[in-house]
Amino acid sequence: MIVVMKSKSNEEDLNEVLDLIEEEGFEAHLSQGVETTIIGLIGDTAGKEQVKSRLQAFSSVEKVIAVLDPFKLTGWKFKPEKTVIKLDEVEIGNGKPVVMAGPCAVENEEQLMTTAKAVKEAGAEILRGGAFKPRTSPYSFQGLGEEGLKLLAQAREETGLKIITELMDLEHLELVAEYTDIIQIGARNMQNYPLLSAIGKLDKPAMLKRGMSATIREWLLAAEYIMCEGNQQVLLCERGIRTFGEETRNTLDLSSVPMVNELSHLPVIVDPSHGTGRWELVNPMARAAVAVGADGLIVEVHPNPKEALSDGPQSLKPKKFAQLMADINTITDSLGNSKGSRWPSAI
Protein backbone atom coordinates (compact mmCIF):
# COMPACT_ATOMS: atom_id res chain seq x y z
CA MET A 1 0.00 0.00 0.00
CA ILE A 2 1.23 3.49 -0.84
CA VAL A 3 0.18 6.77 0.75
CA VAL A 4 0.57 9.92 -1.33
CA MET A 5 0.64 13.07 0.83
CA LYS A 6 -0.93 16.33 -0.35
CA SER A 7 1.66 18.79 -1.60
CA LYS A 8 0.62 21.30 1.09
CA SER A 9 1.04 18.85 3.96
CA ASN A 10 3.64 19.68 6.61
CA GLU A 11 5.90 17.67 8.90
CA GLU A 12 3.29 17.43 11.63
CA ASP A 13 0.80 15.91 9.15
CA LEU A 14 3.43 13.46 8.02
CA ASN A 15 4.24 12.37 11.56
CA GLU A 16 0.56 11.72 12.29
CA VAL A 17 0.35 9.41 9.29
CA LEU A 18 3.61 7.68 10.18
CA ASP A 19 2.36 7.10 13.74
CA LEU A 20 -0.79 5.44 12.48
CA ILE A 21 1.19 3.20 10.12
CA GLU A 22 3.37 2.10 13.01
CA GLU A 23 0.37 1.60 15.28
CA GLU A 24 -1.14 -0.70 12.64
CA GLY A 25 2.02 -2.83 12.72
CA PHE A 26 3.64 -1.77 9.44
CA GLU A 27 7.02 -0.31 8.70
CA ALA A 28 6.99 2.92 6.73
CA HIS A 29 9.34 3.69 3.86
CA LEU A 30 9.48 7.38 3.16
CA SER A 31 10.27 8.82 -0.24
CA GLN A 32 10.42 12.61 -0.22
CA GLY A 33 10.66 14.11 -3.69
CA VAL A 34 10.65 17.78 -4.62
CA GLU A 35 6.93 17.78 -5.39
CA THR A 36 5.48 14.81 -3.56
CA THR A 37 5.96 12.80 -0.41
CA ILE A 38 5.12 9.13 -0.74
CA ILE A 39 5.01 6.59 2.07
CA GLY A 40 5.24 2.90 1.30
CA LEU A 41 3.85 0.43 3.84
CA ILE A 42 6.14 -2.54 4.27
CA GLY A 43 4.35 -5.71 5.31
CA ASP A 44 1.38 -7.67 4.04
CA THR A 45 -1.41 -5.15 3.42
CA ALA A 46 -3.68 -7.56 1.52
CA GLY A 47 -7.24 -7.33 2.81
CA LYS A 48 -6.43 -4.48 5.22
CA GLU A 49 -9.33 -2.29 4.07
CA GLN A 50 -9.68 -0.73 7.49
CA VAL A 51 -6.10 0.53 7.44
CA LYS A 52 -6.73 2.04 4.02
CA SER A 53 -9.87 3.84 5.28
CA ARG A 54 -8.11 5.18 8.36
CA LEU A 55 -5.29 6.57 6.22
CA GLN A 56 -7.72 8.06 3.71
CA ALA A 57 -9.46 9.90 6.53
CA PHE A 58 -6.49 12.24 7.06
CA SER A 59 -7.06 15.57 5.36
CA SER A 60 -3.33 15.71 4.57
CA VAL A 61 -3.52 12.50 2.51
CA GLU A 62 -4.06 12.89 -1.24
CA LYS A 63 -4.70 9.19 -1.94
CA VAL A 64 -3.99 5.67 -0.78
CA ILE A 65 -3.11 3.17 -3.50
CA ALA A 66 -3.13 -0.58 -3.12
CA VAL A 67 -0.06 -1.93 -4.92
CA LEU A 68 -1.19 -5.02 -6.71
CA ASP A 69 1.86 -5.57 -8.84
CA PRO A 70 4.51 -7.83 -7.33
CA PHE A 71 7.32 -5.27 -7.42
CA LYS A 72 6.31 -3.51 -4.26
CA LEU A 73 9.69 -2.04 -3.36
CA THR A 74 11.66 -2.39 -6.58
CA GLY A 75 8.94 -0.75 -8.71
CA TRP A 76 8.53 2.89 -9.71
CA LYS A 77 5.14 3.20 -8.01
CA PHE A 78 6.74 2.82 -4.65
CA LYS A 79 9.62 5.18 -5.38
CA PRO A 80 9.22 7.45 -8.39
CA GLU A 81 12.86 8.52 -8.37
CA LYS A 82 15.85 6.60 -9.62
CA THR A 83 17.88 4.99 -6.83
CA VAL A 84 21.40 6.37 -6.62
CA ILE A 85 23.89 4.29 -4.63
CA LYS A 86 26.48 6.56 -3.04
CA LEU A 87 29.93 5.43 -1.93
CA ASP A 88 31.48 8.75 -0.92
CA GLU A 89 32.04 10.54 -4.23
CA VAL A 90 31.15 7.52 -6.39
CA GLU A 91 27.49 7.62 -7.42
CA ILE A 92 25.88 4.70 -9.23
CA GLY A 93 22.62 5.51 -10.99
CA ASN A 94 23.10 9.22 -11.55
CA GLY A 95 23.29 8.98 -15.34
CA LYS A 96 27.02 8.50 -15.84
CA PRO A 97 28.06 4.83 -16.08
CA VAL A 98 30.32 3.63 -13.27
CA VAL A 99 32.87 0.96 -14.09
CA MET A 100 33.90 -1.85 -11.74
CA ALA A 101 36.94 -3.78 -12.94
CA GLY A 102 39.50 -6.26 -11.73
CA PRO A 103 40.37 -9.92 -11.74
CA CYS A 104 37.85 -12.72 -11.49
CA ALA A 105 39.70 -13.98 -8.42
CA VAL A 106 42.25 -12.34 -6.13
CA GLU A 107 45.32 -14.54 -6.67
CA ASN A 108 48.22 -12.77 -4.97
CA GLU A 109 49.43 -9.31 -3.98
CA GLU A 110 51.31 -8.56 -7.17
CA GLN A 111 48.47 -9.62 -9.46
CA LEU A 112 45.90 -7.57 -7.54
CA MET A 113 47.97 -4.41 -7.08
CA THR A 114 49.11 -4.36 -10.72
CA THR A 115 45.49 -4.73 -11.87
CA ALA A 116 44.13 -2.21 -9.36
CA LYS A 117 46.60 0.48 -10.43
CA ALA A 118 45.94 -0.16 -14.11
CA VAL A 119 42.14 -0.04 -13.87
CA LYS A 120 42.31 3.06 -11.68
CA GLU A 121 44.52 4.80 -14.22
CA ALA A 122 42.09 3.89 -17.00
CA GLY A 123 39.19 5.47 -15.07
CA ALA A 124 37.48 2.63 -13.20
CA GLU A 125 36.04 3.65 -9.83
CA ILE A 126 35.48 0.27 -8.20
CA LEU A 127 37.81 -2.73 -7.96
CA ARG A 128 36.29 -6.18 -8.32
CA GLY A 129 37.92 -9.42 -7.16
CA GLY A 130 36.63 -12.68 -5.75
CA ALA A 131 38.00 -13.99 -2.46
CA PHE A 132 35.36 -16.72 -2.15
CA LYS A 133 34.82 -18.21 -5.60
CA PRO A 134 31.76 -20.20 -6.69
CA ARG A 135 33.57 -22.54 -9.11
CA THR A 136 31.71 -25.01 -11.28
CA SER A 137 34.22 -27.72 -10.34
CA PRO A 138 35.20 -28.43 -6.73
CA TYR A 139 38.74 -29.11 -7.99
CA SER A 140 39.20 -25.57 -9.37
CA PHE A 141 40.81 -22.71 -7.40
CA GLN A 142 38.31 -21.68 -4.73
CA GLY A 143 39.76 -18.29 -3.79
CA LEU A 144 42.06 -17.01 -1.04
CA GLY A 145 39.30 -16.41 1.51
CA GLU A 146 40.09 -13.79 4.16
CA GLU A 147 43.59 -13.29 2.78
CA GLY A 148 41.93 -12.17 -0.48
CA LEU A 149 39.71 -9.73 1.41
CA LYS A 150 42.79 -8.27 3.12
CA LEU A 151 44.48 -7.77 -0.24
CA LEU A 152 41.39 -6.01 -1.58
CA ALA A 153 41.41 -3.68 1.43
CA GLN A 154 45.09 -2.99 0.82
CA ALA A 155 44.36 -2.17 -2.83
CA ARG A 156 41.61 0.23 -1.73
CA GLU A 157 44.07 1.88 0.62
CA GLU A 158 46.72 2.25 -2.08
CA THR A 159 44.49 3.38 -4.96
CA GLY A 160 41.39 4.97 -3.43
CA LEU A 161 39.19 2.57 -5.44
CA LYS A 162 36.07 1.22 -3.74
CA ILE A 163 35.76 -2.56 -3.66
CA ILE A 164 33.18 -5.18 -4.54
CA THR A 165 33.51 -8.87 -3.71
CA GLU A 166 31.23 -11.88 -3.61
CA LEU A 167 29.57 -13.29 -0.52
CA MET A 168 28.76 -16.97 -1.01
CA ASP A 169 27.25 -18.07 2.27
CA LEU A 170 25.77 -16.88 5.55
CA GLU A 171 28.82 -18.11 7.45
CA HIS A 172 31.00 -15.37 5.93
CA LEU A 173 28.45 -12.55 6.02
CA GLU A 174 30.05 -10.48 8.78
CA LEU A 175 33.55 -11.06 7.52
CA VAL A 176 32.81 -10.00 3.94
CA ALA A 177 30.65 -7.05 5.05
CA GLU A 178 33.47 -5.81 7.25
CA TYR A 179 35.89 -5.53 4.31
CA THR A 180 33.83 -4.67 1.25
CA ASP A 181 32.03 -1.54 0.04
CA ILE A 182 29.52 -3.52 -2.06
CA ILE A 183 28.51 -7.12 -1.45
CA GLN A 184 28.15 -9.17 -4.63
CA ILE A 185 25.56 -11.93 -4.73
CA GLY A 186 26.48 -14.30 -7.52
CA ALA A 187 24.21 -15.79 -10.16
CA ARG A 188 24.22 -19.15 -8.39
CA ASN A 189 22.92 -17.57 -5.19
CA MET A 190 20.24 -15.31 -6.67
CA GLN A 191 17.53 -17.45 -5.14
CA ASN A 192 19.29 -18.23 -1.87
CA TYR A 193 16.52 -16.54 0.11
CA PRO A 194 18.00 -16.85 3.63
CA LEU A 195 21.18 -15.19 2.32
CA LEU A 196 19.17 -12.40 0.64
CA SER A 197 17.14 -11.78 3.80
CA ALA A 198 20.31 -11.57 5.89
CA ILE A 199 21.80 -8.98 3.52
CA GLY A 200 18.52 -7.09 3.76
CA LYS A 201 19.28 -6.45 7.42
CA LEU A 202 22.64 -4.80 6.66
CA ASP A 203 23.34 -1.16 5.94
CA LYS A 204 25.55 -1.94 2.95
CA PRO A 205 24.97 -1.83 -0.82
CA ALA A 206 24.44 -5.21 -2.46
CA MET A 207 24.72 -6.14 -6.13
CA LEU A 208 22.39 -8.96 -7.09
CA LYS A 209 23.45 -10.85 -10.20
CA ARG A 210 20.77 -12.39 -12.37
CA GLY A 211 20.53 -16.16 -11.98
CA MET A 212 21.60 -18.04 -15.09
CA SER A 213 18.10 -19.27 -15.77
CA ALA A 214 16.14 -16.54 -14.00
CA THR A 215 13.38 -14.51 -15.59
CA ILE A 216 13.36 -10.76 -15.00
CA ARG A 217 10.40 -11.23 -12.67
CA GLU A 218 12.27 -13.79 -10.54
CA TRP A 219 15.30 -11.49 -10.45
CA LEU A 220 13.29 -8.48 -9.25
CA LEU A 221 11.46 -10.60 -6.69
CA ALA A 222 14.84 -11.75 -5.37
CA ALA A 223 15.72 -8.06 -4.95
CA GLU A 224 12.45 -7.66 -3.02
CA TYR A 225 13.76 -10.24 -0.53
CA ILE A 226 16.65 -7.91 0.29
CA MET A 227 14.62 -4.71 0.27
CA CYS A 228 11.69 -5.90 2.37
CA GLU A 229 14.13 -6.42 5.26
CA GLY A 230 15.05 -2.74 5.12
CA ASN A 231 18.13 -2.50 2.89
CA GLN A 232 17.18 -0.32 -0.08
CA GLN A 233 20.70 -0.09 -1.50
CA VAL A 234 20.39 -2.71 -4.19
CA LEU A 235 22.07 -2.87 -7.60
CA LEU A 236 21.00 -5.38 -10.24
CA CYS A 237 23.53 -7.03 -12.52
CA GLU A 238 22.75 -8.64 -15.88
CA ARG A 239 25.41 -11.31 -16.47
CA GLY A 240 23.90 -13.42 -19.21
CA ILE A 241 21.52 -16.34 -19.20
CA ARG A 242 21.70 -19.89 -20.50
CA THR A 243 20.47 -20.44 -24.02
CA PHE A 244 21.44 -22.88 -26.75
CA GLY A 245 24.62 -21.52 -28.31
CA GLU A 246 28.06 -22.92 -27.62
CA GLU A 247 30.07 -20.09 -29.09
CA THR A 248 29.53 -17.93 -26.03
CA ARG A 249 29.50 -18.90 -22.36
CA ASN A 250 26.11 -17.26 -21.81
CA THR A 251 23.72 -15.10 -23.82
CA LEU A 252 24.03 -11.53 -22.60
CA ASP A 253 20.42 -10.38 -22.43
CA LEU A 254 20.82 -6.67 -23.06
CA SER A 255 17.08 -6.28 -23.54
CA SER A 256 16.79 -6.79 -19.78
CA VAL A 257 18.41 -3.37 -19.25
CA PRO A 258 15.65 -1.22 -20.79
CA MET A 259 13.09 -3.72 -19.44
CA VAL A 260 14.32 -3.36 -15.88
CA ASN A 261 14.52 0.41 -16.36
CA GLU A 262 10.81 0.27 -17.27
CA LEU A 263 9.93 -1.74 -14.18
CA SER A 264 12.33 -0.59 -11.51
CA HIS A 265 14.14 2.42 -10.09
CA LEU A 266 17.16 0.29 -9.16
CA PRO A 267 20.45 0.82 -11.03
CA VAL A 268 21.42 -1.90 -13.52
CA ILE A 269 25.01 -3.00 -14.09
CA VAL A 270 26.05 -5.17 -17.04
CA ASP A 271 28.74 -7.87 -16.89
CA PRO A 272 29.96 -8.44 -20.46
CA SER A 273 32.72 -10.77 -19.20
CA HIS A 274 30.55 -13.58 -17.80
CA GLY A 275 27.87 -12.58 -20.32
CA THR A 276 30.04 -13.71 -23.23
CA GLY A 277 32.98 -15.70 -21.80
CA ARG A 278 35.26 -14.30 -24.55
CA TRP A 279 37.49 -11.27 -24.19
CA GLU A 280 37.01 -10.32 -27.86
CA LEU A 281 33.30 -9.74 -27.24
CA VAL A 282 33.68 -7.75 -24.03
CA ASN A 283 34.36 -4.33 -25.58
CA PRO A 284 31.51 -4.43 -28.14
CA MET A 285 28.98 -5.67 -25.56
CA ALA A 286 30.17 -3.07 -23.02
CA ARG A 287 29.54 -0.33 -25.59
CA ALA A 288 26.12 -1.77 -26.37
CA ALA A 289 25.28 -1.99 -22.64
CA VAL A 290 26.00 1.68 -22.11
CA ALA A 291 24.00 2.57 -25.22
CA VAL A 292 20.89 0.76 -23.92
CA GLY A 293 21.00 2.55 -20.57
CA ALA A 294 23.17 0.53 -18.18
CA ASP A 295 24.19 2.43 -15.05
CA GLY A 296 27.53 0.71 -15.00
CA LEU A 297 29.70 -2.20 -16.04
CA ILE A 298 31.62 -4.92 -14.23
CA VAL A 299 34.57 -6.13 -16.28
CA GLU A 300 37.22 -8.78 -15.64
CA VAL A 301 40.81 -7.57 -16.12
CA HIS A 302 43.98 -9.59 -15.56
CA PRO A 303 47.63 -8.61 -16.19
CA ASN A 304 48.31 -12.03 -17.72
CA PRO A 305 45.04 -13.76 -18.70
CA LYS A 306 46.83 -16.87 -19.97
CA GLU A 307 48.07 -17.57 -16.43
CA ALA A 308 44.80 -16.59 -14.66
CA LEU A 309 43.52 -19.07 -12.06
CA SER A 310 39.96 -18.41 -13.21
CA ASP A 311 38.18 -16.91 -16.23
CA GLY A 312 41.32 -16.08 -18.23
CA PRO A 313 39.56 -16.44 -21.62
CA GLN A 314 37.13 -13.62 -20.77
CA SER A 315 39.64 -11.31 -19.07
CA LEU A 316 40.98 -8.17 -20.72
CA LYS A 317 44.61 -7.14 -20.49
CA PRO A 318 45.02 -3.66 -18.94
CA LYS A 319 45.71 -2.04 -22.32
CA LYS A 320 42.51 -3.43 -23.84
CA PHE A 321 40.61 -2.30 -20.75
CA ALA A 322 41.90 1.26 -21.19
CA GLN A 323 40.58 1.13 -24.76
CA LEU A 324 37.20 -0.04 -23.46
CA MET A 325 37.05 2.94 -21.08
CA ALA A 326 37.81 5.35 -23.91
CA ASP A 327 35.16 3.70 -26.10
CA ILE A 328 32.40 3.80 -23.52
CA ASN A 329 33.18 7.43 -22.77
CA THR A 330 32.55 8.16 -26.45
CA ILE A 331 29.16 6.43 -26.21
CA THR A 332 28.27 8.24 -22.99
CA ASP A 333 29.17 11.61 -24.50
CA SER A 334 27.13 10.94 -27.60
CA LEU A 335 24.07 10.10 -25.48
CA GLY A 336 24.31 13.51 -23.82
CA ASN A 337 21.45 14.40 -21.52
CA SER A 338 19.12 11.69 -22.69
CA LYS A 339 20.62 9.53 -19.95
CA GLY A 340 19.93 10.15 -16.30
CA SER A 341 16.15 10.33 -16.40
CA ARG A 342 15.20 7.00 -17.79
CA TRP A 343 12.07 6.04 -15.97
CA PRO A 344 9.24 4.82 -18.18
CA SER A 345 7.41 7.95 -19.20
CA ALA A 346 10.68 9.83 -19.70
CA ILE A 347 12.05 7.53 -22.39
Contacts of 56 (CB under 8 A, 6+ apart): 63, 64
Quick one: what does residue 148 bind among Mn ion, ligand PEP, none, with the CB cut-off 5 to 8 Å set by partner type? Answer: none
Among 130, 148, 277, 305, interactor with ligand PEP by CB under 6 A: 130
Is residue 265 within the footprint of ligand PEP (CB under 6 A)? no
Distances (CA, A) of 303 to 103, 104, 108: 9, 12, 12
Q: Please name the helix (run of DSSP H) or strand (run of DSSP E) that holds residue 281, with its range, or none.
A: helix 279-291
Quick one: what does residue 309 bind among Mn ion, ligand PEP, none, with the CB cut-off 5 to 8 Å set by partner type? Answer: none
Q: Decide whether 274 or 339 has the Cβ nearer to ligand PEP.
A: 274
Is residue 260 within the footprint of Mn ion (CB under 5 A)? no
Candidate segments 19-27, 71-79, 180-188, 217-225, binder of ligand PEP by CB under 6 A: 180-188
Q: Decide whether 168 or 322 has the Cβ nearer to ligand PEP.
A: 168
Closest residue to bound ligand PEP by CB: 186
Q: Decide whether 72 or 128 has the Cβ nearer to Mn ion.
A: 128
Binding string, 299-328, against Mn ion, x = CB under 5 A? ------------x-----------------
Least CB distance from residue 240 to ligand PEP, whole Å? Answer: 8
Among 82, 209, 249, 302, interactor with ligand PEP by CB under 6 A: 209
- Edge to edge, what strands does the sheet with 27-32 contain? 27-32, 37-42, 2-5, 61-65
- Total residues contacting ligand PEP by CB under 6 A comes to 9
Least CB distance from residue 299 to ligand PEP, whole Å? Answer: 10
Per DSSP, what are the bridge partners of residue 3?
39, 64
105/111 Cα distance (integer angstroms): 10
- Torsion of Cα atoms, 150 then 161 then 286 then 132, to 10°: 10
Quick one: what does residue 342 bind among Mn ion, ligand PEP, none, with the CB cut-off 5 to 8 Å set by partner type? Answer: none
DSSP letters for 245-272 = -SSSSSB--TTHHHHHHHHBSS-EEE-H
Identity of the amino acid at 265? H
Distances (CA, A) of 43 to 1, 26, 40, 108, 235: 9, 6, 10, 46, 22
**Under 8 Å between Cβ of 141 and 123:** no
Q: Decide whether 181 or 311 has the Cβ nearer to Mn ion.
A: 311
Is residue 249 within the footprint of ligand PEP (CB under 6 A)? no
- DSSP, collapsed to helix, strand or coil, labels residue 101 as strand
Residues that bind Mn ion (CB under 5 A): 104, 311
Residues that bind ligand PEP (CB under 6 A): 104, 130, 134, 186-188, 209, 239, 274
